[in-house]
Structure 1
Amino acid sequence: MQRIGKIASVGAVAVAAAFSLSACGDDSTSASAQQPSQPSAPAAPSSSAAQAAGTKGRECTADDIKTTGTFGQAPTITIPDDCDPPKKLITKDLVAGTGNGAKAGQKVSMNYSLVTWSDKQKLDSSFDRGQTFDLTLGAGEVIPGWDQGLVGIKQGGRRLLIIPPDLGYGQGGNGIAPNETLVFVTDAVTVPNDKS
């Protein structure tokens, strides 16, 4: 079952219904360029204020998320308990890949594994099904976090995506809780070699 398109069931978390993403392709942690700019951040709350507000006092970064495996292997994803989910899209290349980076309008084939932030459990994995997920990047076939976060990924590349609720499933549905942050490890199985 596909979960990334229009999540058809709890066992299939296609990355999206009527959402579209476009993204950051560098191999450093980055926020989506399409996000509105934020005013300068206020000082971090003291630990007692953070605990009172139900937060850990800092947002997690890509480096806080631990993964195992390399391209083509089903990954494990470990989300820490000592930081809050980020509020902006974060991408990080775990394996660089080769060739041209994926662009909007291109059909790509991906493998992925998804862990939900709130319960730190794997919710979906194309690796487990043994079937890649095909999509046209930037066409709104998937959630915005994918359309944005996969731009620039190269064939053979593995990328971590940390997707905030507004670029994921928002109010939830199809097995995703409301306001859920999604953590994907994605492998670019096929990216067109654009000669132009």
Structure 2
Amino acid sequence: MSAALPQVSGSFGEKPTLTFPDAAPSPELEVTVLERGDGEIVEAGDDIEVHYLGQSWGGRVFDNSYDRRSSISFGIGVGQVIAGWDEGLVGQQVGSRVLLSIPSHLGYGDRGVPQAGIKGGDTLVFVVDIVGTRR
């Protein structure tokens, strides 16, 4: 039985909106594929291209690529991003929309990112659209 997770509106490529349950977040990484793509499988060491929206659990959106109309690319599974992304996105398929609920120990921990409005201990929720991958 998985923990209660936010409801996500919108489909792949559209800026999502999250509606949070009246429940505490799971202390574990929760990964839910909202729409499964039919592209290549993302492997550790790939460069992955994504659109994303990040929001603190029950809080405000702290970052999203949809408003910038520009996806981002980075190495996945190699420590270039927070551990929750490395663990949650490796093994997914290109074209997928994935919901990640990332506890603080796999995010920004006790220090948070105050300039982004992320407090220490915050659970982070991301909706990630996997646009492409390069080996």
TM-score by length of structure 1 reads: 0.64
Please name the residue that 2:129 is paired with. 187
**Residue 124 (1) aligns with residue 63 (2):** yes
Please name the residue that 1:112 is paired with. 52
**Residue 168 (1) aligns with residue 107 (2):** yes
What secondary structure, in the 3-state scheme, does the structure 2 residue paired with 1:153 have? coil
Which deviates more from structure 2 when the two are superposed, residues 158-167 or residues 96-105? 96-105
What secondary structure, in the 3-state scheme, does the structure 2 residue paired with 1:130 have? coil
**1:84 positional shift:** 0.8
Distance 1:167 1:86 in 2: 12
Please name the residue that 2:20 is paired with. 79
Distance 1:114 1:77 in 2: 10
What's the CA shift string for 1:89-132, capped at 9, x where partnerless?
00000010013210100011000001101x42111101111111
Q: Report percent identity of matched pairs.
A: 39
Task: State which of 62, 65, 68 in structure 1 corresponds to 2:6.
Answer: 65
Structure number, greater radius of gyration:
1
- Gaps of at least 5 residues in structure 1 are 1-27, 30-59
Q: Which has more strand, going by share of residues?
A: 2
**Residue 138 (1) aligns with residue 77 (2):** yes
| Number of aligned residues | 132
User: Runs ≥4 in structure 1, deviation > 4 angstroms?
Assistant: none
**1:178 positional shift:** 0.5
- Gaps of at least 5 residues in structure 2 are none
TM-score by length of structure 2 reads: 0.91
User: Aligned partner of 2:107: which letter?
Assistant: G
- RMSD across aligned C-alpha pairs, in angstroms? 1.6
| Alpha-carbon contact 1:79-1:120 (below 8 Å) kept | no
